[in-house]
Structure 1
Amino acid sequence: MTQVKAPMAGTVFEVSVKEGDTVTVGQTLIILESMKMEIPCEAEVAGTVKKILVAEGDFIDEEAVLLELE
């Protein structure tokens, strides 16, 4: 299992995948908004989205786990 973590604190702007989706390396999974910038969180490995731990509008801290891939 691989955890996708937030690179910085911010607000979840968009969740681009749903549980059960198959993703490829480099695919945008979640977009964060911080300091008026949009920061894409991309898959570092290919796999299947096992669990999404955040929702659009949530404020998250740096290094918070956003979702899990397997």
Structure 2
Amino acid sequence: MGPYIVTWTMYSENPGDHKAAAQEVAERYFQERIAAGEPDTACTFVVTNSKGESRQIDLAVH
């Protein structure tokens, strides 16, 4: 069995960039340590804007 990729899809109206949208969702829906980008947490997000442009955002990378 595995490995697996598990995906959550959340809608954000954040007017900022891809990282700002990921940060907002992390702070709102995930544990504080994830939103803070603590290594070895689920702090990597794929963010797609309204134009269909996707970026991988790792909150552990400052």
TM-score interval for Structure 1 and Structure 2 normalised by the shorter chain:
under 0.3
- Structure with the bigger percentage of helix: 2
Query: Which has the higher Rg, Structure 1 or Structure 2?
Result: 2
* TM-score normalised over the length of structure 2: 0.28
Higher relative contact order (CA 8 A, sep 6+): 1
